[in-house]
Amino acid sequence: MASVAETVTPAPIVVHRHWWRGRLVQVTGIVALMYVAYRAWAIEYPWPNDLVWNSLSLHLDDFQVWLLTERGKEDQSIVFTVFEGFSSAIDHLVEWFNRLLLWLTWVGTTVAGVALIFRFGGLRAATIMLFAFAAFALTGLWEESMQTLALMLVSVGLSLLVGIPLGVAAGRSAGFRRAIAPVLDAMQIVPAFAYLMPVAILFSIGPAAAVVSTMIYAIPPAIRITALGVRGVPVSTVEAATSMGATRMQLIGKVQLPLARRMILLGVNQTILFALSMVVIAGLIGGGGLGAVVTSGLYSNPALAILAGLAIVIIAMALDRSTEAIAEQTDPAHRHLDETRKRRLRLQTLAIVGTIVAGVGISKAFGAAGAYPDEAGNPPHTATIEEWLLTKIQVVLDYVQDPTTWVFAITERVGIFILQQLLLPLQEFLMEAPWFTTVAGLTAIAFVVSGLRPALTTLAMLGSIGFTGIWALAMDTLSQVLVATAIAVAIGVVLGVLAAESNRFSKVMRPVNDLLQTLPQLVYIIPFIYLMPVSIVPGSVAGVLYAFPVTLRLVERGVRDVAPTSVEAASAFGASRRQVLTKVKLPLAGDAVMLGVNQAIIMVLALVVIGGLVGSGGLGYEVAQGLVRGQFGQGVIASVAILALGIALDRVTQGTRRSRKEGIA
C-alpha cells in the first residue's frame, strides 16, 4: 500500500547557514589555498617516483605477448577456444550481413529498407530513409555505408539481446536494479576511448572488437529505458493480472512487455544512436566502413573524412526518425486496432513483402551491382556529383584556413585566446603544483560538494592515477576538461535560461540540440582541426560543443519545472522578471544546474581524450599511440587513468542529489 509509505515522508528541513558554510565559498577557499601552495612550491613536488609502480607497463606488455602466444597455440585452453569462437562468430555475423546487403544489390537494399520503414514508421520516416540511401549513393560511399550498416545491425541487435531481458529484470526487481546501477553508471561515465585498448587486446583488432566496444557503450541505455518502461506499467494493471492468477511468464508476456512496448522501442532508438556515435572510434579498432574512412582521412584526405562524417550523420538522423516513428505508430495502447484495420494492415504487410521480393528480383535480373556503381563514367553523373561535393568541401576548408579571410582572423584569435589565457595557465597550475596539495584540494572539493564517500572515491582514484605513473599527463587532460567544461556550462546555463524564458528561442534551439547530440564524437573535432589549428584547442572546443546542449536542456527543464505557484507568489510581491529569475527560479533550479555541470564534465572528458588523436596530448594521446604504434602497456595504463579520472570527476560534481533522492526513496 503506497499511501502508508507516502504519508510519512518528512518535510524538508531548512537550516540557516553562516556565509562561510556556503559550498561556493568553501570551494573558492580551497582553490585559493591550492594556488598559494602552487606559488610557493611550483615544480618542486612532482608526483614522487617512490610512489609509482614503474614496472606496470612492462607487465602489461608481457601479458599481451602471453595472450598472443596462447592464442596462436595449437592446443588452446578451453577459455581461449570459447573466446576465439565468440570473436570469430561476431566477425562472421558482420561479414554475413555485409554480404547480404550487397547481394540484395543497391536497388534491392534501398527498396527493402524504405518499404520496411514505410510499413512500420509511415511515409515521413520512409522519405527520410530514401534520402539517406540517395546520400550513400551520391557520396560514392555506398560500400562503406553498407559495412557500417552491417556493423550497426550486429552491434545493436546484440545490445538489445542483452539489454532488453536485463532491463525487464531490472524493471521487475528493485534488488536487481540496485545491483546493476553502479555497473551501468561506470559504463556510461568511462569514455569509450578508454576501453578501446583493452577490448582490442582481448578480441584483437577487427569487427568483433568494434562490436564489443560499441555494445559496452550501447547496452546501458537499452537496460535503463526498458526498465523504465516496465516500471511505468500501472501497478494496478500488474496487480489485476496477478490477482487473476497469471504466472510470471504470462505477466511479462501479456501485460508488462506490451504495455512497456513504446518505451522499449524508444530504448531501441537510443541504443541505435549510442551505437552510431561509436562508429568512428570503432573504425580505429577494425570497425571498417565509414568510421575507418573518417579516422584514416583525418589528415590524408580531410574532405573525404568530412563527407564520410556527413554520411554517418545522415544515417543517424534517418534511423533516429524511423525508430521514433515506429515507436509511436505501433504502440498498441494508443492505436486502437479493430479487426478491419488489422486485416488491412496484414494486406499491407503482404504488399510490402511482395514489393521487396519484386524489387530484389528485378534488380538482380537486370544485373544491378551490389554497391552503387561509382566508378568514373558509369553512370557518368554520380562520379561527378561525388567529385563536386569533395571539391566544394575542399573549397570551404581552404577558405576557412586562408589567413587573409575574416573567418580565420576570428577563429584563430579565439583559439589563441583560449589557449594562452585559459588552457596554458591552468595546465601549468595543475601540472606544476605540488602533487599533495592537488590531491588534497580535489578531495576536499569532492567532500564539500558531494560528501564523504564521493571524497574517498576521489582520493582513491587520484591515488591510483599517480601510482601508475602518469600523474602529469592526467593533470594535462584535467586542465583541458576543466576549461572546456567551464565554457560549456556558461553557454549552457545562459542559453538554457533563455530557452526556459522564451518559447520561441526554445523552438529554435531544439533542432540544433538534436543535431549536436546525434553526431558521433569525433565528427565534432574535425571542423575545429581546420578552424582553430592551434595545438590542443580543437579537442577542447569540440568538447564545449558536444557538452553544452546537455547543460542547456537540463537547465531549461530545471527552470521550467520551478513550481508556478512560487513564481506567482514572487510576482504577487511585485518582483520584476529579473528578480523572479535570480531570486526564485535559478536557486530552485540549482539541482538541475549541478546535474548539468556533472553531465557536461563527463561528456567533455570523452571528447578531450578522443582529441588525443589530433594533438590534444594528455592521456588521450597515450591511448592513441598505444592503438597506432602498438604500445599496449602504456595505452592500457592511460585507459585506466581515464577511467579513474572519469569516476573522480563524476564524484566531485555529483553533488548531494543522489543521496538526497535515496533519502526520499
Partner 1 sequence: MLLVPDWPGDRVDRTGEPLIRADGVWKIFGRREDRIIGTPAAELSRAELRAQTGCVIAVRDVSIRVWPGEVFVVMGLSGSGKSTLARTLIRLIEPTAGRILIAGMEVTAASPAELRQLRRHMVSMVFQHFGLLAHRTVIENMAFGLEVQGVQRNERLARAREMLRLVGLEESESSFPDQLSGGMQQRVGVARAFAVDPKVMLYDEPFSALDPLIRRDMQDEICRLQVETEKTMIFITHDLPEALRLGDRIAIMRDGQIVQLGTPEELVGSPADEYVANFTRDIPKSHVLTLRWVMREPVPEDSTDGPKLDVTTTVRRALPALAAGEKPVCAVEDGRVVGIVDRATVLQAIADERGD
Binding site for partner 1 (CB under 8 A): 1, 3-5, 7-8, 234, 236-247, 250, 254-255, 258-259, 261, 332-334, 336, 338-339
Minimal distance, residue 307 CB to partner 1, in Å: 44
| Closer CB to partner 1, 255 or 500, in the complex | 255
Report in angstroms how near the CB of residue 232 gets to partner 1 at its nearest.
Answer: 11
Look up residue 605 and give its amino acid: L
Nearest distance in Å: CB 341, partner 1 = 10
- d(CA 142, CA 135) in angstroms, rounded, equals 9
C-alpha cell at 16: 540557516
Q: Which long-range contacts (CB under 8 A, 24 or more apart) does 39-47 make?
A: 41/433, 41/434, 41/437, 42/432, 42/433, 43/432, 44/434, 45/434, 45/435, 45/436, 46/435, 46/471, 46/472, 47/435, 47/466, 47/469, 47/471, 47/472
Whether the CA torsion 290, 291, 294, 297 is positive or negative: it is negative
Task: Give 237 or 405: the residue with its C-beta nearer to partner 1.
Answer: 237
Collapsing DSSP to helix, strand or coil, 533 comes out as: coil
| Of residues 50 and 338, the one with the C-beta less far from partner 1 | 338
**Closest CB to partner 1 among 16 and 336?**
336
Using the minimum distance from each CB to partner 1, give the nearer residue, 78 or 665.
Answer: 665
CA 216-220-221 angle, to 5 degrees, is 125
CA atoms of 259 and 171, how far apart (whole Å): 13
- Report in angstroms how near the CB of residue 434 gets to partner 1 at its nearest: 46
**Minimum distance from residue 484 beta carbon to partner 1 (Å):** 45
Q: What is the DSSP letter of 283?
A: G
What DSSP state is assigned to residue 581?
I
Q: Which is nearer to partner 1, 237 or 384 (CB)?
A: 237
User: What's the number of CA atoms in the CB half-sphere (13 Å) around residue 500?
Assistant: 25
The Cβ of residue 78 has, within 10 Å, a number of other Cβ atoms equal to 7
Contact 648, 450 (CB under 8 A): no
In the complex, least distance from residue 181 CB atom to partner 1, rounded to whole angstroms: 20
Q: How far is the CB of 562 from partner 1 (least distance, A)?
A: 30
Q: Is the dihedral of CA 373, 378, 381, 387 positive or negative?
A: positive
Comparison of 2 and 78: residue with beta carbon closer to partner 1: 2
Would residue 451 be called left, alpha or beta, if left means φ above 0 and alpha means ψ between -120 and 50 degrees?
left
- Given the C-alpha cell 555475423, which residue does it identify? 93
Q: For partner 1, which is the closer residue by CB, 241 or 516?
A: 241
Angle at 557 between CA 552 and CA 563, to 5 degrees: 145
Q: Which grid coordinates are listed for 235?
A: 501497478
DSSP 3-state of 121: helix
**Smallest separation, CB 336 to partner 1 (Å):** 5
CB 129 within 8 A of CB 117: yes
In the bound complex, what is the minimum distance in angstroms from residue 245's beta carbon to partner 1? Answer: 3
Separation between Cα atoms, residue 343 and residue 503, nearest integer Å = 43
Whichever of 218 and 259 has its CB closer to partner 1, that residue is 259
Rg (CA), the chain: 27
CB neighbour list of residue 461: distance below 8 Å, 6 or more residues apart? 644, 645, 647, 648, 651
Least separation in angstroms between residue 61's CB and partner 1 is: 50
- Classify 337 in phi/psi space as left (phi over 0), alpha (psi -120 to 50) or beta: beta
Residue 124's identity, in one-letter code, is R
Helices within 234-301 (DSSP H only): 235-243, 248-250, 257-277, 279-282, 289-300
User: At 457, is the secondary structure helix, strand, or coil?
Assistant: helix
CB nearer to partner 1: pick between 237 and 348: 237
Q: Which is nearer to partner 1, 13 or 333 (CB)?
A: 333
Q: Which is nearer to partner 1, 8 or 452 (CB)?
A: 8
Residue 225 Cβ, how far from partner 1 at the closest point, in Å?
19
Asked if residue 549 lies in contact with residue 510, where contact means CB atoms within 8 angstroms, the answer is: no
Residue 656, SS3 per DSSP? coil
| Minimum distance of partner 1 from residue 122's CB (angstroms) | 20
For 363, the grid coordinates are 534488380
- Residue for grid cell 595505452: 635
Residue number, 5 or 452, with CB nearest to partner 1:
5
CB of 236 to partner 1, least distance (A): 4
* 250 versus 401: smaller Cβ distance to partner 1: 250
Residue 330 C-beta: closest distance to partner 1, Å: 11
